[in-house]
Chains A and B, each alone.
Chain A
Amino acid sequence: MASYILRKAEPKDVSDILRLIKELAKFEEMEDQVILTEKDLLEDGFGDHPFYHCMVAEVAKQHQSTDGHVIVGFAMYYFTYDPWIGKLLYLEDFYVMKEYRGFGIGSEILKKLSQTAVRTRCSSMHFIVAEWNTSSIEFYKRRGASDLSLEEGWRLFKIDKQSLLKMTSEE
């Protein structure tokens, strides 16, 4: 396949980013959980206080996808903090459309992200993967990732809005 470019996402990309988010959620069998809208992505990523950073993979028009898209992959990340080692880069979503896999786009995205992490003095790049997603886990482990849930026993928890509101009104 011919070339592609990796670049910083711009406000005009939010529609493609949402499309790719939904494709990834569908693969993770949780597409009905995506309640984010283009408006949210715009306000939260390109306003005064961005909550996330995003990188997109774009192909030339002549290589557009079967359904006419030129934005064929993305990675969304932000900076977090570990009180033991300081700044971290957290990779929230990372996805390349099926028809564009096997060309090294994913590897190149990961490399750019790790360069960003090193350049911004992050000691580590963290992310989560579903345990049944063995192809992704293999992809990451081949490149040197370690599974902290297996190695150290960390489990991810959430408290949803309803329970949060209950806590704030209790006294």
Chain B
Amino acid sequence: MKFTISAAKPEDCKNIERMIMELAVYEKMPDQVKISHKELERDGFGPNPFYRCLVAEVPEEHKSEDGNTTVGYAIFFYTYSTWKGRTVYMEDLYVMPEFRGNGIGKALLAAVAKEAKDQLCSRLQFSVLDWNKPSLDFYMAKGAEDLTAKEGWHFLRFHGMALDNLAQEAP
């Protein structure tokens, strides 16, 4: 099946919002999605973008059952490792289930890898849920290493109220 991978434009944000929700449903956390295409437009396409996005599109004759031609996306941004320097962090990678098996996921990942290479980044990092076997298999086949298993890294966060409390803590 023919498809193209290109940099997202502001008008793609409604489709990106749709697919973000599809991925959140798959990850069993749809109630955690709090932002909409408005924030995505403001935060990704202003003078100081907080993320980059690539979209995968198919021609009209291959559109999805519900009439969409934007069928996959990858969201990533540049981070910094005090050990290795510039790094790319891939936040989301998703292809609609009916379009899988056509190399779209591979092409999106390769496109992110190319961005990493062009920006002189030494490494690509991302996170996967421990039960998500299809994704774990996909990434391991590409040379990914599980740093949580290998080196014991855990993700922590200060969120919402916990963050506010920390900011207001008495000295």
Contacts and interface: CB of A to CB of B under 8 A. Distances in A.
A12 to B, nearest CB: 18
A124 B158 contact: yes
Given A110-B166, A145-B162, A167-B110, A155 B129 contact: yes
Q: Is the interface of A mostly helix, strand, loop or mixed?
A: mixed
Contact of A83 (B35, B144, B156, B161): B35
**What bracket does the count of chain A residues touching chain B fall in?**
35 or more
Q: Is the interface of B mostly helix, strand, loop or mixed?
A: mixed
A131 B92 CA distance: 25
Interface residues of B, number: 72
Contact of A166 (B34, B82, B143): B143
A84 B147 contact: no
Contacts, number: 247
B124 to A, nearest CB: 5
B155 A158 contact: no
Contacts of A162: 143
A94 to B, nearest CB: 10
Interface of A: 21, 24-25, 30, 33-36, 40, 44, 51-52, 76, 78-87, 90, 92-93, 104, 107-108, 110-111, 114-115, 117-118, 122-132, 137, 140, 143-150, 152-168, 170
